Structure 1
Amino acid sequence: MSGERTKRLKVIGEGTYPGGDYEKVKVTGEGKVSGDIRAVETKVTGEAHVKGKAAINQLKVTGQLTIDEELSSNEMNIIGELNVGSSIKANTGTVRGFLNSSGNAELEKLHVKGGVNINGLLNVGELIINLHGAPSKVVEIGGETIKVKSRSFFSRSQTLQAEVIEGDSIYLENTTAKLVRGSNVEIGPGCHIEKVEYRLTFTNRHKTISNAKKI
């Protein structure tokens, strides 16, 4: 590791700091970074704003993090809210709260309890969403395993809206989409799907799908 990357940034309270290469970034309170940032590890407790790109190997947020441009990461753990002004590329993401991106998002694995708003393609190997708190919206979802559930005993059920959902194994609840295409497709309660295309199996639990065909 270069000498530059051994720098550490620690914010307690409020402050604005320059971008750059860091080994560890820790924000407790409210911090702003006025440029691109690269870090091995970043931990936010409170609120942080990166006015540029971010490349972070391990990202942990308890509170809110806003990144004006693109984000690349290996591992993301979000409790609260992550807002990205461009695209997201990561290996794994665990979210208890909301993930918002103004561009495409690409992950190997994404588990969410809360919601997502992706203004583009969500390309993911394994996607598990337990809808909670507010409606979710994605332009298009492509993946291998896609599970969307909306079960809450204490609050109103939430919904996911998408143009197209395509994957190998798909299970959906409370989802509105124009097209769902997959190898094994199961449609659960609360769904409004205009068209289903399946290769192997199709299960229509609540008999709400009238336009389904094997391809």
Structure 2
Amino acid sequence: MNDCKIYGAGAVSGGTYREVSIAGSGKIKGEITAESFSVSGSAKALDNLDVKTLKVSGSFSAEKNVKAEDIKIAGSLAVKENLSSAKAHISGSLKVGKEANVDDFFLKSSNSEIAALHGDNVTIKREMAIFFSKKHNLIEEIEATTIDIEYVKAKRVSGDNVTIGQGCIIDTVEYRDKITVSKEAKIDNIVKLG
């Protein structure tokens, strides 16, 4: 399998690669399958991305779906459709237009937006940055086995073991086994599932 490396500005054609590396600015013009995909700078994918590892230091946006076994982001990741991964560690901003399915999900952010987040372990912490005007991560729905979140605004949060930390504003929280709620969280309804 070929490697594709961009230094400066350039474009990547769709195809199967061992490694895709962008240092600078890059555009991906077709469906990509790769062992590893890394961005240092900014890149935009116009089609689906299916990789084993995705590393971004800077910004990466995808017009369609992103599938990766392991995701590490320092900066921003924007996915117009669906995001799926076994493990994602994101520090910065995440925007997912439809659904994020991530088994082991860690997000440190103050300005992320996700339509629906499903996983096994979900942890969301606030990024301590003065510059962001938005104080909450906006996530319509979270479903996971273990949930530990702060500064999240959501309609529905559902899990077995749920910890709702400071700054959360949630319409309904559903839990099976255990729930812990901060005094600095606002929840309209708490439902114990049978």
State TM-score, norm by structure 1. Answer: 0.83
Give percent identity, aligned residues only: 22
In 2: Cα distance, 1:39 partner to 1:74 partner? 11
Q: Deviations over 1:119-157 (max 9, x none)?
A: 2x21010011112244211111000110013xxxxxxxx
Q: Which aligned pairs between 1:110-121 and structure 2 lie closer than 5 A?
A: 110-115=105-110, 116-119=112-115, 121=116
Q: Aligned letter for 1:180?
A: V
Distance apart, 1:66 and its partner CA: 0.5
Tell me: higher relative CO, structure 1 or 2? Use CA pairs within 8 A at least 6 residues apart. Answer: 2
Q: Match for 2:171 among 174, 178, 190?
A: 178
Q: Which aligned pairs between 1:2-81 and structure 2 lie closer than 5 A?
A: 6-81=1-76
Q: Deviations over 1:29-73 (max 9, x none)?
A: 000011111111011100011101100111111000101101111
In 1: Cα distance, 2:158 partner to 2:91 partner? 24
Contiguous gaps of at least 5 residues in structure 2? none
Distance apart, 1:112 and its partner CA: 1.2
SS of the residue corresponding to residue 162 of structure 1 reads strand
Q: Deviations over 1:152-206 (max 9, x none)?
A: xxxxxxx31111000011111211111101021111032111100125xxxxxxx
Say how many residue pairs are matched: 185
- Which residue is equivalent to 1:143? 144
In 2: Cα distance, 1:189 partner to 1:104 partner? 30
Aligned-residue Cα RMSD (Å) equals: 1.2
- Which residue is equivalent to 2:97? 102
- Which residue is equivalent to 2:84? 89
Larger Rg: 1
State TM-score, norm by structure 2. Answer: 0.91
Q: Deviations over 1:16-39 (max 9, x none)?
A: 221111110000000001111111
Contiguous gaps of at least 5 residues in structure 1? 1-5, 150-158, 200-214
In 1: Cα distance, 2:142 partner to 2:120 partner? 10
In 2: Cα distance, 1:123 partner to 1:162 partner? 13
Instruction: Check conservation: 1:185, 1:198, Cα contact below 8 A.
Output: no
In 1: Cα distance, 2:183 partner to 2:109 partner? 18
